[in-house]
Structure 1
Amino acid sequence: MNKTKLQGHAAIFVAAIIFGANFPITKHLMPHWMSPWALTYSRFAFGAIAFWTLSLFVKKERVPRKDMFTLLLGSMLGVGFNQALFIFGLQYTSPTDASIVNTVMPIMAMVISFFILKEPITLKKAGGVFLGLFGVLCVILSAHVPAGASKSAPILGDLFCALSCLMYAFFLVITRDVSKRYSPVTIMKWMFLFSTILSFPFGYKDLLTANLFVSGSLNEWLSYGYLLVGATFITYLLMPVAQKRIRPTTIGMYNYVQPLVASVIAISIGQDEFTWIKPIAAILIFAGVYFVTTSKSREDIERELVEVKPALDSEDADRFQVEVVTQQINKDKKIN
């Protein structure tokens, strides 16, 4: 493995671990220390401040109006709806279930890519979709809350998390072109700014009255800092680094790390219980995502055709030469 690919694998592996640990950490802050809206708006505002500050030290890029509209739509899908639905969903469900449902995102991206980007759906991909969806269904139908936990609605929470994945899948497809034209800092500074402005009426009051700012201990402040710096700023920087160095299908495979990290942490601190349905559902989803992410994409098929065409042309040329020689021999026989 060369140095460039190794950097890509390292970036996405670290991001997956950060995301996985974020499930139980965010769950710990809700709802006593911060409401879902307060946490969501915190991520938007902090992301906007962090990325705009970072943009002062990197090369400036001008974004035309057409691409700015795409960034606005991307901010609504990949930052706004995605993060809001995730945090609201996590309020009701367990960190383990939320992390397992989150692994279905590559499958959703594949289906959306078929309709928007005309990516082919092979039998292998279709089988992966059904396996993954069946695994998510197992999680949703078996959802529960451990004894002593706060009252919640785990089925609703799992559905919110699934919708969060759907929003992010649309985001990956819609912003595919602009992500290739601009740096991660340029893209993220505009997306987080748009999300901060649009969500201001809904989140600023909850943020100003959060219990964390009144009586939060060091443990809660560290958790809050992890959510902002780690699961928001660092991860949104690491993802583009990986995307430029390794294939998207390989990146999708690292989603497997998230439920493993989240489950270990959540079960160890009593936020969740181990049940037999969880590993079965996880295996189904993992198998589905594996089939989808290892299937051939449109680019793979087109690249293979380009590689095979010269060989076919060469074979056709040889065949033509043989036919010409054969015809000449038969002609000579007739003359003689």
Structure 2
Amino acid sequence: MCCANAIWGLMSPVAKIVIASGAATSLVVTDLRFFGAMILFWLASFFQKPEHVNHRDMAKIFLASLLAIVLNQGFFIFGVGLTSPVNASIITTSMPLLAMGLSALYLHEPITGKKVLGIAVGATGALVLIIGSHPGSGSDTTAGDNIWGDVLVVLAQLSYATYFVLFKHFVSRYSMVTLMKWMFTFAFIATLPFSYNSLLATQWTTFDAHTWGAIAFIVVGGTFLSYSLIVVGQKNLRPTVGGMYNYVQPAVASIAAIYWGLDNFNASKIVAVVLIAGGVYLVTISRSRAQMEAYKAKGNTRN
């Protein structure tokens, strides 16, 4: 999960460079991600034992694709277009909180003091990092803010958190490659009607080597590799713990931006990274439902 979110953190400034250059719209970049990942996962499936997916599970995989890929990416792309980048970044910190609430309702995972404290500490670090990178955001971004944009970004986080919780046990039925090849196939088919005209209007011959290199990183690293790692993490981590690694994204994005000269280094960034790491640690060491039940079974009544 840490590696996947670190890659997504690197992908953020790379994608911004491609979109800001005017080479491709955000919708085209998203569709390229889906198409490229679909092809790569299908190619990878030829190197493993064929796996049959029954019709009932195929319907579940389609739902998983809608929640984790189509709705998550779709809501976020259109949401960012309607609200400010700062608002969108701040709202993304709600994902671990949503995952914790859904885990408590659906998986009956306990909400412990360490989880709440860890999420609060991590969110504080993420907010320090985001606001510190936009020192004038408090006054100069409100003109572009739109409540519907904020709502769409919240829905993007909710759809991903719902997928992470609802399909926690389901992802163990099939291999990572089988799950991902079908999820990205469904995602590409679902988004193609909306992106078809944009794909035709894109001037592909104007793409230089740097643009193609950036797109290759977005597809191979930011989609194929990262989603592969997400499934591995989903199988082995509790949803709340997995969600906490969401805070790694702004930290890595900030470090990359500093390295590429797109941002400045200051003390607030050190504080933010320490808070994020501390928050992840607290949630990671918090007790799971199984640990709480085993603890009570021993007759120990301490919290």
TM-score normalised to structure 2 length: 0.78
**Residues 177, 104 of structure 1: CA spacing in aligned structure 2 closer, same or farther, 3 A cutoff?**
same
Provide the secondary structure at the position in 2 that maps to 1:60.
coil
Report what 1:316 is aligned to. none
Match of 1:17 among 3, 6, 28: 6
Counterparts of 1:303-322 in structure 2 under 5 Å? 303-305=294-296, 308=298
| 1:38 and 2:32 are equivalent in the alignment | no
**Deviation sequence 1:209-252 (CA, Å, 0-9, x none):** 224x1312211110011001111111122233445567767655
Report what 2:206 is aligned to. 215
**Residues 17, 129 of structure 1: CA spacing in aligned structure 2 closer, same or farther, 3 A cutoff?**
closer
Provide the secondary structure at the position in 2 that maps to 1:59.
coil
**Residues 105, 76 of structure 1: CA spacing in aligned structure 2 closer, same or farther, 3 A cutoff?**
same
Report what 1:263 is aligned to. 254
Report what 1:180 is aligned to. 172
Match of 1:77 among 63, 67, 71: 67
Match of 2:186 among 184, 189, 194: 194
Shift of 1:155: 7.7
| 1:292 and 2:283 are equivalent in the alignment | yes
Q: Which moved more, 1:66-75 or 1:278-287?
A: 278-287
Match of 2:16 among 21, 27, 30: 27
Residues 99 and 262 of structure 1 are in contact (CA less than 8 Å); yes or no, is this contact kept in structure 2?
no
**Residues 43, 199 of structure 1: CA spacing in aligned structure 2 closer, same or farther, 3 A cutoff?**
same
Match of 2:198 among 195, 201, 206: 206
Shift of 1:164: 3.0
Report what 1:239 is aligned to. 230
Quote the sequence identity (%): 39
**Deviation sequence 1:279-310 (CA, Å, 0-9, x none):** 6666666555544343212122234356x37x
Letter in 1 for 2:7: I
Within 1, Cα distance between the matches of 2:207 and 2:287? 50
Number of aligned positions between the proteins: 294
Residues 23 and 99 of structure 1 are in contact (CA less than 8 Å); yes or no, is this contact kept in structure 2?
no
Within 1, Cα distance between the matches of 2:75 and 2:260? 24
Report what 1:117 is aligned to. 107
Report what 1:330 is aligned to. none
Shift of 1:202: 0.6
Within 2, Cα distance between the matches of 1:236 and 1:290? 23
Letter in 2 for 1:69: A
**Residues 228, 45 of structure 1: CA spacing in aligned structure 2 closer, same or farther, 3 A cutoff?**
same
**Deviation sequence 1:248-277 (CA, Å, 0-9, x none):** 676556545432221022244454566777
Within 2, Cα distance between the matches of 1:169 and 1:35? 26
Report what 2:38 is aligned to. 48
TM-score normalised to structure 1 length: 0.71
Letter in 2 for 1:19: W
**Deviation sequence 1:51-70 (CA, Å, 0-9, x none):** 12222221222222332222
| 5+ long unaligned stretches in structure 1 | 1-11, 312-336
**Residues 273, 77 of structure 1: CA spacing in aligned structure 2 closer, same or farther, 3 A cutoff?**
farther
Provide the secondary structure at the position in 2 that maps to 1:30.
helix
Provide the secondary structure at the position in 1 that maps to 2:169.
helix
Within 1, Cα distance between the matches of 2:276 and 2:191? 33
| 1:226 and 2:241 are equivalent in the alignment | no
| 5+ long unaligned stretches in structure 2 | 138-142
Letter in 2 for 1:218: A
Within 1, Cα distance between the matches of 2:275 and 2:146? 19
Report what 2:140 is aligned to. none
The two structures, once aligned, show a CA RMSD in angstroms of: 3.9
Shift of 1:193: 1.1
Provide the secondary structure at the position in 2 that maps to 1:121.
coil
Letter in 2 for 1:52: W
Within 1, Cα distance between the matches of 2:155 and 2:105? 18
